[in-house]
Structure 1
Amino acid sequence: MSIKKLYSNELLASFEYSNIYRDYDFYYVTTSDKYIKSGAAFLDIDDIKISALQFESGKSFWVMLPKSGTSRAEFVRLLNEKEDGDSLSIKSMTSCSIPEHLLTQLFLNALTSPVDEMISFNNLSGKLLCFRPSWINKDKENFIWGMQCLEVKVGNDMCVKLVAHRMTALALKKQMKFEKRKLQDYPQYEFSYNNNTLKRVSNENKNRRENFIIKPVDGERGSITFFDFTNYETFSCTKMGVLYDIFNALHDEFGKYIHVKFKEYNIDKVLEYKRTSLEAYKDVVKKEILNSGINIVDVIQSETSEDYLQDVADEIKKIIPEVKCSVGKRLSKKKFNVRYIHDKSFYLDSEVDAHQENMENYVVQHITVENFKHQSSAAVYNILKELVIKKDIANGKITLVDWSKYGYKSDWLFGVVAEGVYYFMTIHPDGLFKIEALKRNLFTMTEYDKYMDYFGLNEENKNEYRGVIGLIKDADGNINLIKDTNMYSMPDYTAMGDILKNVDSEGRFPGKDVVTWLRAVMNITDKIKVQAELDIVIPHIDVNTEYTKSDIMGLFKGIATKKEVVRYVFENTGSMLYSYLRGEEERREYLSGNIDINYFDYDDTYAKYSVGEIGNGMKYTIERASVVREIQAVEGGKLIFKKLLPLMGVEFVRYGMLTVVPFPFKYLREYIVKKEQL
């Protein structure tokens, strides 16, 4: 069995510095003012052919120019005309002295949009922004009021960030909030219908209703699907599809200067799950709900709230028909309570906040007027599950799952910090637990003070323990930290993109060739059912007719036959008739790291893990990337996190999905919310 790999977003770049030196000049420009007033408008200076611009901050940027273009003296003169010359410092740089992430970014920013391709690259504001026509939003009059764009950014750790932005026409400016930054401070852009690109607006054309700024209307944000392998068209409109085009273009345009690939890791341990096993907790939820019953409390008391909450009660009964569910005005100590209130923003200017009322002796789950969708069975079921978790917290015992099944023979400690308060949860082998909330006390030192140091809130250790989101400790005193990173796992998007592009390419095949292929498959295969189906199909093929890919695939009913034919035709002609990418073998080859729970050590102190989609029965779409988190063993201790991997094999934290940190952290978060309400 082949080793599963995790394909990361960490770039490995190598440069042909002699070629770069021969063909390009680089400058580093800084200002003594608060910021460079002209910003990326330097790109529009007609007399300078700038290949790329990359801002480090508002006070400095890097410039890449073709060697045959502008001399240094001319470049300095033209920049000083654009900006206050006394404030600028302009330094010539050799490519080998530029940090590799910035040099990589400059070459990415220098990409020119391909002709007749459904993507555009724009080095706007010193950023690489990419567009697809399908991301454009128009009204009935064909007016473009908004669009998505994707920023491709290389961090100083060489991790590629794919950031979705929302661009909005000024026609909708009244629907935007300008609190931190005024409208006039936003660069404006205009859209070119000829080549689907954006360019900066000239001063005389500013403030037109059709101009764009990079900002969403209030309540929206940029959102682009991470990956979809339904077909080449859907793939192209995802983050991975854009990355596929970007790095193909980088290779084609600048291959003699820069070579890039993404870092791969061998996965040491994989935990795979089937949905049926992940849903075992639902029996516990049903039992608890039937034992306690549901009391829905109407805090809103509007004209429609009573009918609305009766609908909620009816939805609960659809899930658990036997449940006793009532709608009332007071909390019940015997029943589970569902409390109907407004969201937090409603109470900002009010002396009374329904979220902050003391409910210490009650098990309560809030639903809000603004956000709760009772038509969603998943949302309704989430209420029931959350109530059981809250009961567990009140009773100090995990019942939603059988803790003893994990086989832990001693205590485990889980820790987090929130608003300067440290929370530690000790779980015993029988599932009983205790949560303590602690603050630092200079006069009373406890064993917990050392644990607090690991969260990096102190000045002396904030760099060493940056990004810590959780702590775990075993009975032997080994402590592991869970840390956020800029890494995420990717599918083998290059191979999958090539397959999907191949399938999408047009092809018409003579009937006589089709007959030849099928006879060859019939002679090679040892599958009796495949032979039988081919024996029936071959006589009906018209050798004088041309067949498309879909025509050929439509000849067969059996999946096994189709796969055999697809494999043979690809291996012998290079043409892919159809893509089979969801099977177990294909998932292992192309999607490992994006499905199930994956873990790997890379020395005695550090490890990494990712939690992806449930591989069994997965769909064609992966909405979000799987973040790769780092595990650090401290004080010479052992890596122990691997023992806790099963605690992420639950779906009750994120409905229908695996959870990304061990589920006791969910209990800690709920405990913190409850404490804040007291």
Structure 2
Amino acid sequence: MQITTNKMLAEFDIGAINRDFAFLRIRRQDKGKNWYGAQLLDRLLREGFNAAAVLYRYSAYAYVMFKKPVDTYALLERIRSHSAFREFEDGAVEPCAARASKDEENGAVCGAWLLQILFNSLASSRSEKYPELHFSNLTGSLVLIENTGRRTADSLQGAEIIVTNGFLLHIPVHRYRKRASILRELKHVTDEKRRKTLDNILERPQYAVHGGRGVLRRVFDDDTESKDNAKLYIRCGEYRKRASVPFLDFSGRERFAASRAGIYQRFLERVRDELAAYVKITLVPKEPSEVRAFSGWKMNKPGYLDELAEGDAFHIADRIGNAASGKLAAGLKKTFSRVCAHTPVTEGKEDRPDALNFRIVHNAPWYEEHGEHDEYLPFEGVAVRQHLTLEEMLDEKESLSLPAVRTIIKEALIKRDLQRGRITLFDWTALRFPDEWIFGIAGETRGMGKKREVLDARFMIVKPDGAFEMKRVPARIGLEDEYQRYILTMQEALATDWTKDRVFEGLVARNGSVNCIYRSEEITLPDLDGIARILDEAGDELPEGKKTGSELAALLVKFQKGIALSAEGKHSGRIESLKRTLLDRDTETITKKELRRNINEHLGKTGMLPQAFRRYLLDEHGIRLVFPRSRESVERLLPALCEIKYFEEGKNRACYFVGEKGQGIKRTVKSACHIREVEAVEGSDLLFRDILPTMDVDFVRTGQSTVVPFVFKYLRERK
């Protein structure tokens, strides 16, 4: 089994690139400023220059690519004489070439920068094969606006195509809002911090929709559209809302195309079609050393939370005291009784020191807006409190969801473990560790990048019997005890992780060996082309001779004759019902959507009979109706999204990811699986494989496993 990720291997044909393209390098003249927001780059895409692509990533340099034939020296003269460039120094705009490796002396464009500018050039072509996949080269970046969905009257959503320095293909999603919408928000905003943010955002580059393809184009100060706030778009998020697109949706071809996985699939397909003469892209595969299928999680089994509560009462403390909070309290009490039938539930305004307290409060923005004291109380290790914000607890129907209630009970039980100093939600003794384990995270830090400094750290020491101790340790220069060595390791990890497309998350230690855990930007990718192919098959029209009501009824009769006599009698009523419906349509053409609906109505959505009929249509007649979610299909198409997979990559380095449960995987996967890197510090053994079972739990994330050992959840809860 091989797992593919978004890490690319790029094989450039440097000769072909330099044969067909000319490159310029431009040095920014404003001291202390970079190219972000500058109009100069976008002007080179228009105004008679007609660059194939522009690129800006960081630093003082930007690059421009032109299709040959082009007179480079005449082009340089035109640029230097343009009003926007007249104040540039001699040598600020100079020709350069593509190179396989870095060439500081000649200012070559190479590596990830070269790949990015080739990708950016896709915005200058209009593909007939991909009419809906049109990109915008905006201020040196590549953005897809069409097909990500989430359009509103006041905003668009765009997916940016980024090549990191480590050759990861990264596709974040951003929202572009109309300037008029931002001005309306600014007029009514009360949060001073948000006001300053919006003032700065209004200084960002402005874009307008160009043509009928949904392409955005930079609007300059002297353009006629520049004063129409209803037509200008600026990259700006909505207050306290994140732009989002599901990572994978295989409920249909269009939904797949609009998901981030679908964007990956079609973008890479277009790169293969249009840039094959210049670069060959291969996604780097990984071979897992261990696959750990999730065990049968217990948390949602009837009575299990009751057992864990051990007779402790649930106490609802309504700190708001209005009709809405009273309704929430009543709903909680009712749902608690469903989930934990034998656990007593009490109500009041104040907390109970002898119970698990569920405090109903407002969220932080409400208290800020109304100028009232925030009722949130941090957990200090004594009273068990779980805060429930009125604004977030109720769903769209203003009712409580059962999974949400189970989650808050689990959260309260974690706090009770912290109060007692013993793990009860997981059987630590089953791991049979003879020694203590130490888990650590950085606490307060200051500075950024390589100057980031750890001021203190938090540690949890877990004994073989599941008892544990918490420690907060300040950083002390000059001391060389065990915990100061751990803090120094954190310091070194935080100072360098930003250079490697990753973020330090914590460390684990045993018997002097230390392993650091990093969340990387490398994500796992399912079989994108295989998913697209199957969804295409499921979306195709029914074949000739098998598309009218009577023709499909004849197929149903053949299927009926092929099943066992005992089964035929059991199912004959449902089969006859479907047959009559099909015969009623006689010579009318039936679509796959209609056939799926008829099968669901008469044979059922799930069960052996509808499954057998769908399998018969596929195996005997080549008619695919649905995307398969059988164990075999999941293992073939979606192994990169399922279970825990661990990859040992040497004596001192490993990585892993935590995915979904393969059995019963949903048709929509919200988030990608990030590869987490594990490194043993110098002189240490690689320990992490021993604690893989600590991620096979369902009490950290609702309905999902945790992506780091659950002990880190305990550490984060204890401030």
In structure 2, how many angstroms separate the alpha carbons of the residues matched to 1:606 and 1:282? Answer: 41
Return the offset for 1:305: 3.6
Kept in 1: contact 2:179–2:202 (CA 8 A): no
In structure 2, how many angstroms separate the alpha carbons of the residues matched to 1:459 and 1:239? Answer: 29
Which residue matches 2:165?
156
Give RMSD over aligned pairs: 3.6
Which amino acid in 1 is paired with 2:615? K
Specify the SS of the correspondent of 1:617.
coil
Kept in 2: contact 1:510–1:544 (CA 8 A): no
Which residue matches 2:676?
629
Please, which of 491, 494, 497 is the counterpart of residue 526 of structure 2? 491
Specify the SS of the correspondent of 1:77.
helix
In structure 2, how many angstroms separate the alpha carbons of the residues matched to 1:487 and 1:399? Answer: 34
Which residue matches 1:675?
none
Offset from partner CA, 1:51-94 (integer Å, 9 cap, x none) = 11111237421111101135233235325514343435123222
Offset from partner CA, 1:357-403 (integer Å, 9 cap, x none) = 78553111112233333622222222211111111111110011221
Specify the SS of the correspondent of 1:508.
coil
Return the offset for 1:409: 2.7
Which residue matches 2:364?
344
Specify the SS of the correspondent of 1:182.
helix
Return the offset for 1:549: 6.0
In structure 2, how many angstroms separate the alpha carbons of the residues matched to 1:489 and 1:400? Answer: 30
Kept in 2: contact 1:484–1:630 (CA 8 A): yes
In structure 2, how many angstroms separate the alpha carbons of the residues matched to 1:298 and 1:562? Answer: 52
Which amino acid in 2 is paired with 1:100? G
Question: Structure 2 vs 1, CA of residues 665 and 282 (structure 1 numbering), >3 Å: closer, same or farther?
Answer: farther
In structure 2, how many angstroms separate the alpha carbons of the residues matched to 1:200 and 1:469? Answer: 39
Return the offset for 1:42: 2.3
In structure 1, how many angstroms separate the alpha carbons of the residues matched to 2:499 and 2:151? Answer: 45
Please, which of 140, 148, 160 is the counterpart of residue 126 of structure 1? 140
Specify the SS of the correspondent of 2:520.
coil
Kept in 1: contact 2:698–2:705 (CA 8 A): yes
Return the offset for 1:351: 9.1
Question: Structure 2 vs 1, CA of residues 645 and 133 (structure 1 numbering), >3 Å: closer, same or farther?
Answer: closer
In structure 2, how many angstroms separate the alpha carbons of the residues matched to 1:232 and 1:662? Answer: 36
Which residue matches 1:267?
288
Which amino acid in 2 is paired with 1:92? P
In structure 2, how many angstroms separate the alpha carbons of the residues matched to 1:610 and 1:224? Answer: 21
Which residue matches 1:141?
none
Which residue matches 1:206?
226
Question: Structure 2 vs 1, CA of residues 99 and 447 (structure 1 numbering), >3 Å: closer, same or farther?
Answer: same
In structure 1, how many angstroms separate the alpha carbons of the residues matched to 2:42 and 2:407? Answer: 50
Which residue matches 2:64?
63
Which residue matches 2:651?
604
In structure 2, how many angstroms separate the alpha carbons of the residues matched to 1:545 and 1:369? Answer: 53
Which amino acid in 2 is paired with 1:109? N
Kept in 1: contact 2:418–2:718 (CA 8 A): yes
Question: Structure 2 vs 1, CA of residues 178 and 464 (structure 1 numbering), >3 Å: closer, same or farther?
Answer: closer
Do structure 1's residue 42 and structure 2's residue 48 form an aligned pair?
A: no
In structure 1, how many angstroms separate the alpha carbons of the residues matched to 2:650 and 2:167? Answer: 21
Do structure 1's residue 416 and structure 2's residue 441 form an aligned pair?
A: yes
Which residue matches 1:656?
703
Question: TM-score, normalised on structure 1?
Answer: 0.86
Which residue matches 2:20?
23
Do structure 1's residue 447 and structure 2's residue 482 form an aligned pair?
A: yes
Moved more, 207-216 or 450-459: 450-459
In structure 1, how many angstroms separate the alpha carbons of the residues matched to 2:137 and 2:672? Answer: 25
Which amino acid in 2 is paired with 1:229? F
Return the offset for 1:600: 0.6
Please, which of 504, 508, 513 is the counterpart of residue 468 of structure 1? 504
Moved more, 589-598 or 88-97: 88-97
Return the offset for 1:567: 4.8
Offset from partner CA, 1:512-546 (integer Å, 9 cap, x none) = 9x99x999x99xxx9989x999xx99x99999998
In structure 2, how many angstroms separate the alpha carbons of the residues matched to 1:459 and 1:468? Answer: 6
Kept in 2: contact 1:145–1:210 (CA 8 A): no
Please, which of 155, 158, 161 is the counterpart of residue 146 of structure 1? 155
Which residue matches 1:309?
329
In structure 2, how many angstroms separate the alpha carbons of the residues matched to 1:354 and 1:559? Answer: 53
Do structure 1's residue 227 and structure 2's residue 224 form an aligned pair?
A: no
Return the offset for 1:117: 2.5
Which residue matches 2:572?
none
Specify the SS of the correspondent of 2:393.
coil
Which amino acid in 2 is paired with 1:128? L
Do structure 1's residue 175 and structure 2's residue 188 form an aligned pair?
A: no
Kept in 1: contact 2:461–2:470 (CA 8 A): yes
Specify the SS of the correspondent of 2:166.
coil
Instruction: Map 1:406-555 to 2 at 5 A.
Output: 406-419=431-444, 420-442=455-477, 444-456=479-491, 467-475=503-511, 477-506=512-541, 508-510=543-545
Return the offset for 1:629: 0.5
Moved more, 335-344 or 231-240: 335-344
Which amino acid in 2 is paired with 1:635? E
Instruction: Map 1:78-97 to 2 at 5 A.
Output: 78=79, 80-87=81-88, 89-96=92-99, 97=108
Offset from partner CA, 1:170-207 (integer Å, 9 cap, x none) = 23122254524535422222224622222223432114
Which amino acid in 1 is paired with 2:185? Q
Question: Structure 2 vs 1, CA of residues 52 and 448 (structure 1 numbering), >3 Å: closer, same or farther?
Answer: same
Question: Structure 2 vs 1, CA of residues 182 and 416 (structure 1 numbering), >3 Å: closer, same or farther?
Answer: closer
In structure 1, how many angstroms separate the alpha carbons of the residues matched to 2:611 and 2:647? Answer: 35
Specify the SS of the correspondent of 1:484.
strand
In structure 1, how many angstroms separate the alpha carbons of the residues matched to 2:215 and 2:391? Answer: 38
Kept in 2: contact 1:284–1:399 (CA 8 A): no
Instruction: Map 1:278-317 to 2 at 5 A.
Output: 278-279=298-299, 283-289=303-309, 291-302=311-322, 304-317=324-337
In structure 2, how many angstroms separate the alpha carbons of the residues matched to 1:35 and 1:634? Answer: 37
Question: Structure 2 vs 1, CA of residues 603 and 35 (structure 1 numbering), >3 Å: closer, same or farther?
Answer: closer
Specify the SS of the correspondent of 2:56.
strand
In structure 2, how many angstroms separate the alpha carbons of the residues matched to 1:669 and 1:509? Answer: 61
Offset from partner CA, 1:634-665 (integer Å, 9 cap, x none) = 22322221111111011110010010001011
Which amino acid in 1 is paired with 2:263? V
In structure 2, how many angstroms separate the alpha carbons of the residues matched to 1:505 and 1:55? Answer: 42
Which amino acid in 1 is paired with 2:533? D
Which residue matches 1:104?
115
In structure 2, how many angstroms separate the alpha carbons of the residues matched to 1:31 and 1:161? Answer: 26
Return the offset for 1:282: 7.2
Which amino acid in 2 is paired with 1:185? E
Aligned residues: 651
Kept in 2: contact 1:425–1:436 (CA 8 A): yes
Kept in 2: contact 1:456–1:463 (CA 8 A): no
Return the offset for 1:468: 2.2
Kept in 2: contact 1:26–1:63 (CA 8 A): yes
Moved more, 413-422 or 85-94: 85-94
Return the offset for 1:47: 1.5
Question: Structure 2 vs 1, CA of residues 357 and 212 (structure 1 numbering), >3 Å: closer, same or farther?
Answer: closer
Which amino acid in 1 is paired with 2:117? L
Question: Structure 2 vs 1, CA of residues 498 and 411 (structure 1 numbering), >3 Å: closer, same or farther?
Answer: same
Which residue matches 1:676?
none
Which amino acid in 2 is paired with 1:596? E
Specify the SS of the correspondent of 1:371.
helix
Question: TM-score, normalised on structure 2?
Answer: 0.82
Question: Structure 2 vs 1, CA of residues 80 and 479 (structure 1 numbering), >3 Å: closer, same or farther?
Answer: farther
Return the offset for 1:329: 2.6
Specify the SS of the correspondent of 2:694.
helix
Return the offset for 1:151: 0.6
Which amino acid in 1 is paired with 2:86? G
Percent pairwise identity: 24
Question: Structure 2 vs 1, CA of residues 327 and 148 (structure 1 numbering), >3 Å: closer, same or farther?
Answer: same
Kept in 1: contact 2:381–2:718 (CA 8 A): no
Do structure 1's residue 247 and structure 2's residue 268 form an aligned pair?
A: yes
Kept in 2: contact 1:595–1:614 (CA 8 A): yes
Which amino acid in 1 is paired with 2:422? K
In structure 2, how many angstroms separate the alpha carbons of the residues matched to 1:621 and 1:595? Answer: 13
Question: Structure 2 vs 1, CA of residues 132 and 464 (structure 1 numbering), >3 Å: closer, same or farther?
Answer: closer
Specify the SS of the correspondent of 2:544.
strand
Which amino acid in 2 is paired with 1:127? S
